[in-house]
Amino acid sequence: MTNNNKVRCSWVLDDPIYIHYHDNEWGNPQYDSLKLFEKICLEGQQAGLSWITVLKKRDEYRRCFFNFDPHKIIQLTPENIEHLLKNKGLIRNRLKLNSIVKNAHAYLNMQKSGEDFSQFIWSFVDNKPIINHFNDKSEVPVSTDISEKMSKALKNKGFTFVGSTICYAFMQSMGLVNDHFENCYKK
C-alpha cells in the first residue's frame, strides 16, 4: 500500500488509524512491561476478529481498564464486568473481558515473585528482534515454535487468551519479530 509516497506492507488498509498504527507502532521493539501487558490483553480481544476492530476500540479499552494498570484492573468485580458487557465500545464477550482481569492477576503475581514481564517476554527471542524476510502475507506464519513456547509459558503463569497465534501476532506488533515486508519502507 502506498500513501504519502511510502510503500507499506500490503496488509495495511487504507484507513488513517491503520496507517498510523503500521507507521508508528507495529514492529517497533517495545520493552515497557506495561505496554507489553496492554498489548497481550488487546491481542486476546482480537481472537476471531480483525485487528482493525480492536484498534478502533482501543481507546475505550484504555478508558474502561484504567490504561491497563493491573493494580486497578484486579479490583474489577463481576458486576463491573456485567456493566462493561453493555458497552458497545468494547468487544462484548464475557470470557475476553474477564481475561483482562485474569491477566492482570498473573502479571502482578509475576511481579511479586520478582519477574519482570518485559525480560520474560524478550527472553523468548534472546533479547533481540528476529528479522524475517517476507514479500507478502502468504509467506508469514500464523505461529512458530517460539510463539508456541511463549503461549505455554504464559498459560502456566495464569494468562488466558494467549494461544500460539495470538502470541505470534503479539510478537509481530511489539517488534520481537520484524515481519515488515521487504518492500516496506519500515524494513
Task: Out of 21, 61, 107, 168, pick the active-site residue.
Answer: 21
- List the domain range (segments joined by +) for residue 26: 2-178
Number of independent structural domains in the chain = 1
Query: What's the grid cell of residue 121?
Result: 517476554
Catalytic residue among 26, 38, 43, 107: 43
Residue 3: what pLDDT?
A: 63
Domain CATH for 16: 1.10.340.30
Beta bridge partners of 130: 177
Q: Quick one: cell of 133?
A: 524476510
- Residue 170 inside a domain? The answer is yes
Q: Has residue 51 been placed in a domain?
A: yes
Q: Does the residue 35 lie in any domain?
A: yes
Place of cell 528482534: 129
Strand 130-131, strand 177-178: pairing: parallel
For residue 65, is it within any domain?
yes
Residue carrying C-alpha cell 458497545: 88
Give the predicted TM-score (pTM) of the model: 0.96
Taking each helix axis from N to C terminus, what angle separates 94-112 and 33-46, rounded to the nearest 10 degrees?
A: 160
Q: How far apart are CA 79 and CA 48, in angstroms?
A: 26
- Map grid coordinates 524475517 to a residue: 132
43 in catalytic set: yes
How far does CA 128 lie from the centroid of its chain?
18
Per-residue model confidence as pLDDT tens for the chain (187 residues): 666 779 999 999 889 999 999 999 999 999 999 999 999 999 999 999 999 999 999 999 999 999 999 999 999 999 999 999 999 999 999 999 999 999 999 999 999 999 999 999 999 999 999 999 999 999 999 999 999 999 999 999 999 999 999 999 999 999 999 999 999 999 8
Q: 18, 26, 51, 122: which one is catalytic?
A: 51
pLDDT at 62: 98
